Amino acid sequence: MREISHKLAFVHDAAPTRYSDVFDPNNGGVQARVALGDAALLDLAVTAAKKAQPGWAATNPQRRARVMFNFKSLVEANMNELAHLLSSEHGKVIADSKGDIQRGLEVIEFCCGIPHVLKGEFTQGAGPGIDVYSFRQPIGIGAGITPFNFPGMIPLWMSGVAIATGNAFILKPSERDPSVPVRLAELFLEAGLPEGILQVVQGDKEMVDAILDHPDIKGVSFVGSSDIAHYVYNRGVAAGKRVQAMGGAKNHGIVMPDADLDQVVNDLSGAAFGSAGERCMALPVVVPVGEKTAIALREKLIPAIEALRVGVSTDAEAHYGPVVTAAHKQKIENWIQTGVDEGAELVIDGRGFKLQGHEDGFFVGPTLFDHVTTDMSAYKEEIFGPVLQMVRAETFEEAVSLPSKHQYGNGVALFTRNGHAAREFAARVDVGMVGINVPIPVPVAYHTFGGWKRSAFGDTNQHGMEGVKFWTKVKTVTQRWPDGGASADSAFVIPTMG
């Protein structure tokens, strides 16, 4: 059986004592096993990172940017291999896997401009003969703990900015689909990145805790469920680290009476069911405003959902593939039953879906609920599967309040032709990322990604300038070059520039 190990800057001779199975979601079989590391292995990785990082930080930004350029070209040249590898472990269809990697590459493209981004500030003559300037320096060693649902994109979001700004980086990917991060690390080395600057350690909670506790790791970036994000944030901060921890979501799509319903249905089909709903920026809740809108939307949604094709990852005609594990499939189906028990109307039931020839695969059919209410736990919690819930609102004000009052505040979308309504909505809704007629409002790489409330812990977001700020620290220098002669004045008061 294929064994997936770490990608380290040293030879690790000790045989692993613990493993985790890696499944093929398309057929339900175990295709590989991944070696799980421990605190001792992490300590060796940190030692290698400490040795390599000062030289990388001293490398001028242009040369670091050239590594990014080289890496981008190598990933593009190996896109098909990476996408098939990703799909084989995650289950998403090939086109979606390519999109996963491409969205990560867009952050690498941003990192290619790191010489410009790292320019500091300078004030000449801030005081008599005094100049002040500031610049950013790397924090040293950073770490990333990434989820199963984007095994290409999120590791690139974290590692790209951390490395481009001069840090060493240790990545702990999900043990459910660990191969793509290892392959990306290999391509970084091929692109010219020095040994020790990017290392991949495999593991579970034991490795996560070791990362959070290690005194030489100065910053940790995390993406996963909210409960674990909260845990990671608290433990990391208690250990003196800077931490950004992105959690779960329950994104709403508000449909105004004037919206183009054909476009809305097309957008919802992809946003709610693409990647089997395993996205923190999926759109699992649709909120039609007014009874007439709800009736018309439902009438159009049902045939569109029933026409969705669920297939294996390599099926070019499939809209989405299996979910990642049998346990996750069961969790989704349990949530569907919970929705039924709580009184929601189950319009389309995706439970018990079987794909001919792949009966043991982890497939869940598309599911639609109507008449969902805000007191239902199936509405309050993240299902993370191909389940769309309709919550009817009578007015625009009620529709704005639904995502604003929800415990999660990652993303939200408004579908309308009314510019005033769009402007009001964007200004007032209590959510971090807003789409206007855009169902999945993931910002472009030179802006920043991050939600509010229980969707994010910490005050700095992913990628863009927020990412640069997270992985660097500012140093400010106030300098004076006297023109001769010592001042007779004694400086017993706070210096001013007056």
Rounded CA separation 211/206 (Å): 9
The band of 276, judged by pLDDT with boundaries at 50, 70 and 90, is: very high
Contact in structure between 410 and 251 (CB atoms under 8 Å): yes
Domain count, the chain: 2
Same domain? For 401 and 470 the reply is no
Contact in structure between 441 and 411 (CB atoms under 8 Å): yes
Rounded CA separation 392/415 (Å): 15
Q: Which residue is associated with the tokens 């249905």?
A: 265
State mean pLDDT over 42-62: 98
Asked whether residue 61 is assigned to any structural domain, the reply reads yes
Same domain? For 170 and 302 the reply is no
* Whole-Å CA distances, 295 to 291, 305, 391, 489: 6, 16, 12, 82
CATH code, domain carrying 228: 3.40.605.10
Q: Which of 42, 280, 305, 402 is catalytic?
A: 280
The band of 489, judged by pLDDT with boundaries at 50, 70 and 90, is: low
Asked whether residue 496 is assigned to any structural domain, the reply reads no
**Alpha helices by DSSP H, 274-325:** 291-306
Asked whether residue 487 is assigned to any structural domain, the reply reads no
Is 268 buried (19+), middle (13-18) or exposed (0-12) by CB count in 10 A? buried
Per-residue confidence (pLDDT) for residue 369, from 0 to 100: 98
Q: Which two tokens stand for residue 285?
A: 């809740």
Same domain? For 124 and 46 the reply is yes
Rounded CA separation 480/126 (Å): 10
Mean pLDDT of the chain: 96
pLDDT of 486 above 60: no
pLDDT of 11 above 90: no
- Provide the residue count of the chain: 498
Asked whether residue 490 is assigned to any structural domain, the reply reads no
Same domain? For 101 and 123 the reply is yes
Structural domain for 52, as ranges = 2-247+455-477
Q: Which residue is associated with the tokens 């320096």?
A: 137
Rounded CA separation 452/474 (Å): 25
- Over the stretch 132-144, which tens digit does the pLDDT of each residue have? 999 999 999 999 9
Q: What percent of the chain has pLDDT over 70?
A: 98
Same domain? For 294 and 158 the reply is no
Same domain? For 292 and 206 the reply is no
Same domain? For 416 and 468 the reply is no
Contact in structure between 333 and 327 (CB atoms under 8 Å): no
pLDDT of 490 above 70: no
The phi, psi pair for 479, rounded to 5°, reads -130, 150
Same domain? For 323 and 462 the reply is no
CB atoms inside a 10 Å sphere around CB 115: 14
Same domain? For 128 and 268 the reply is no
- Over the stretch 286-315, which tens digit does the pLDDT of each residue have? 999 999 999 999 999 999 999 999 999 999
The band of 424, judged by pLDDT with boundaries at 50, 70 and 90, is: very high
Per-residue confidence (pLDDT) for residue 488, from 0 to 100: 55
Per-residue confidence (pLDDT) for residue 485, from 0 to 100: 58
State mean pLDDT over 460-481: 95
Asked whether residue 45 is assigned to any structural domain, the reply reads yes
Same domain? For 256 and 231 the reply is no
Q: Which two tokens stand for residue 426?
A: 């964007």
Contact in structure between 387 and 340 (CB atoms under 8 Å): no
Asked whether residue 261 is assigned to any structural domain, the reply reads yes
Per-residue confidence (pLDDT) for residue 402, from 0 to 100: 98
- Over the stretch 356-370, which tens digit does the pLDDT of each residue have? 999 999 999 999 999
Same domain? For 459 and 392 the reply is no
Asked whether residue 445 is assigned to any structural domain, the reply reads no
DSSP 58-120: HS-HHHHHHHHHHHHHHHHHTHHHHHHHHHHHH---HHHHHHHHHHHHHHHHHHTTHHHHT--
CATH code, domain carrying 293: 3.40.309.10
Asked whether residue 323 is assigned to any structural domain, the reply reads yes
Rounded CA separation 428/50 (Å): 46
Rounded CA separation 289/257 (Å): 6
- Over the stretch 218-232, which tens digit does the pLDDT of each residue have? 999 999 999 999 999
Same domain? For 264 and 239 the reply is no
Per-residue confidence (pLDDT) for residue 13, from 0 to 100: 78
Active site residue 112: no
Per-residue confidence (pLDDT) for residue 16, from 0 to 100: 87
